[in-house]
Chain A
Amino acid sequence: MKMGQSFRLAIKSLLTSKMRALLTMLGIIIGVAAVIIIVSLGNGMEQYMNAQFEQVGVNLIQVMVFPTGTSREVEADDFYDLAEKYPQYLDSVSPYLSATAAVRQGADEYERTSVYGVSETFYNGEKNQTVNGESVAQGRFLSYVDVEREQKVCVIGAYLDQAMFQGKGLGGTLTIGGSPYTVIGVLKEKADSTEGSGDDVIYLPYGLAGQLGAGVGMQNYLVTSTSQETSSAAKGVIERMLYRIYQDEGAYMVMTMAEMMEMMDSMLGVLMTILVIIAAISLVVGGIGIMNIMLVSVTERTREIGIRKSLGAKGRDIRGQFIIEAATTSAIGGIIGILLGILLANLFTVLAGVLVSGAEGFAAIPTPGGIAVSFGVSVGIGVLFGYLPANKAAKLNPIDALRYE
């Protein structure tokens, strides 16, 4: 009942001096908007990343081996044997070597093209899907014979098909590291068919990639587990095999996509926390602004406080009135900040879609939790920083306050 009147009074005094109210609330508005934007961006980024991981396949396991030269090296056959031994965990195994060879077609050189050496197991014919999530649009993928005999054939991405052959790449010829290769397959468009994107890619038999100087002193394998749940079991059996061969945990590294996803999420979480803390500093500054104005307001309204006290207002009534006023001011600031934050988050989404290629799936999404917390924090700041001025008002001597001009 007293609260109701205090609240109406607070609104009234905000409305009578709009400019002053706006300036008082500015710190809170900026702080809350910043928090909302950061949380939205973080949320959007996490969802975008998860979507990207899922596209690649959450069952993917990446194996890196750094040969020590002191023992025998692990070979692709060791992995094939392992896959046969543990069909319940391992679905497919393929070497995955990144080659650094010059790619040419005619007089043009393609410097940004990614060249990978893989085996036939990199591609699952039943699902028409590679381990990286690509599918074949024309022709076929590398076969067992191609890989075994190290035939100079390759599968190219949609970008190269267009750029080199104007869409008629199947059967065409290009040179990699000086040797001619025949195109036996063209992949379906995966990214946005631009230079350097996921469509600017060549797959060739891994033995040939080795000769091209791929991964000197290092071996890479891509393994898929039967499901996301079995990925840690699959990781276990691979690590046991590698340890048997090298007797040294430093000689290899096995990373599951699920682990990487968790790692990225936790890294993003840390980053977001730091940014939110920085934004929260502006909330504190906003709170100090409110305290400042409330102290001025208490002085201006000394006589009113005296009148109220003479009519029977107790210390807590006066304190409550000023705290409610401070909380109302910061809560309204918080609401404006939330609206501004949502608006800017949507603007970011639109801008990211327009300005950043490959960011089509990205959307900065404000979370209801983030909004609720920002609102709560802004009210809390009002109460916290309103307390000192309110207490000053509550302690005024009614006689002096009544005489105050």
Chain B
Amino acid sequence: MGHLIELRDVYKIYQMGDEAVHALDGVTLTVDEGEFVAIVGQSGCGKSTAMNIIGCLDVPTCGSYHLGGVDVSTMDDDQQAEIRNKMLGFIFQQYNLIPKLNVLENVELPLLYAGLSSSQRRARAMAALERVGLAAKHRNLPSQLSGGQQQRVSIARALAGNPSVILADEPTGALDSRTGREVLSFLQKLNAEGNTVVLITHDNTIAVKARRIVRLQDGKIIYDGDARDPKALVQPAEEEGEVGV
């Protein structure tokens, strides 16, 4: 069996006026089922672009991307939407819950677009809320919950569709350090249960919670290996040129 995520020589080039910016400059990366990978790097290193491409929100300029063995790099918008719905669970920095919908309705959303019946939606959404310990708050509006609770709702939403990959984009960025740690340990727990987790962050102290670190700089992978290896945390450019930042 192939890899769950397989990026092969992926480029993403934006045209900024006369200048061509290589946000991703020949990235080759594979992630297998059950892994917990952190994609790290400073802002502008291309990690957001990587997350967009892995999350099927964007297509590479060239190179191929296979998700679950399917080539998704040439799909149109609606096909990508279907892949996102079936295979990916997003956790965002800003939680991205819809304020007008209550907690249950928010968690039901991906199931709604998957075409499930209302009773199935409700059962699966409640089960997901149970897993994050917020089943009792299912009637509340997001604004009535704390930041940590809102992030847990967004995790429940990501889990509800039973995705192959959980994609977390700076999931602790908007939380205080204690709730941030809670969210991270929850992601570790999910990984321990067999879920594949891809974490995108700029913060080394968060990245080390993953089992594998992929470090990006200027659109290229400069390190890919075990999170416990001390070299994983070295940021060459930072050390040489930008000391004191």
Residues of A within 8 A of B (CB): 1-2, 4-5, 9, 12-13, 16, 303-304, 306-317, 398-399, 402
Contact = CB atoms under 8 A, between A and B. Distances in A.
B98 interface: yes
B78 A399 contact: no
A312 B84 contact: yes
Given A312-B85, A312-B86, A399-B58, A1 B96 contact: no
A320 to B, nearest CB: 11
B58 A312 contact: no
**Which 4 residue pairs across A and B have the least CB separation, nearest first?**
A312-B85, A312-B113, A311-B110, A314-B78
Contact of A312 (B81, B96, B105): B81
Contacts of A306: 96
Given A304-B98, A311-B109, A312-B114, A402 B81 contact: no
B118 A312 contact: no
Nearest to A317: B113
B114 A399 contact: no
Contacts of B161: 311-312
Contact of B98 (A2, A307, A398): A307
B71 interface: no
Contacts of A317: 113
A95 to B, nearest CB: 80
Interface of B: 52, 55, 57-58, 77-78, 81-82, 84-86, 90, 92, 96-98, 100-101, 105, 109-110, 112-115, 117-118, 157, 161
Contact of A2 (B58, B101, B112): B112
Given A303-B96, A312-B114, A315-B81, 15 more contacts: A1-B112, A1-B115, A4-B118, A9-B101, A307-B96, A307-B98, A308-B109, A308-B113, A310-B96, A312-B85, A314-B81, A315-B77, A315-B78, A398-B57, A402-B57
Nearest to B51: A399
A310 B84 contact: yes
6 contacts: A1-B115, A9-B100, A308-B113, A311-B110, A312-B85, A398-B57
Contacts of B55: 310
Nearest to A405: B94
Contacts of B81: 309, 312-315
A362 B105 CA distance: 54
A399 B118 contact: no
Contacts of A13: 100
B112 A5 contact: yes
Contacts of B84: 309-312
A26 B113 CA distance: 34
Nearest to A12: B100
Contacts of A308: 98, 109, 113
A48 to B, nearest CB: 51
Nearest to B154: A307
Nearest to B121: A1
A313 B100 CA distance: 17
A304 B118 CA distance: 21
A13 B99 CA distance: 11
Contacts of B157: 311
Contacts of B109: 307-308, 311
B117 A312 contact: no
Contacts of A309: 81, 84
A309 B100 CA distance: 17
A2 B118 CA distance: 10
Contacts of B90: 310-311
A309 B55 CA distance: 12
A1 B92 CA distance: 27
A21 B84 CA distance: 34
A397 B197 CA distance: 25
A4 B84 CA distance: 23
B87 to A, nearest CB: 10
A12 B161 CA distance: 26
Nearest to B113: A312
A12 B109 CA distance: 17
Contacts of A16: 100
A315 B112 CA distance: 14
Contacts of B112: 1-2, 5
Nearest to B118: A1
B85 A399 contact: no
Nearest to A8: B105
A9 B101 CA distance: 8
A315 B86 CA distance: 16
Contact of A313 (B57, B96, B113, B118): B113
Contact of B57 (A4, A310, A316): A310
A16 B99 CA distance: 12
Contacts of B105: 5
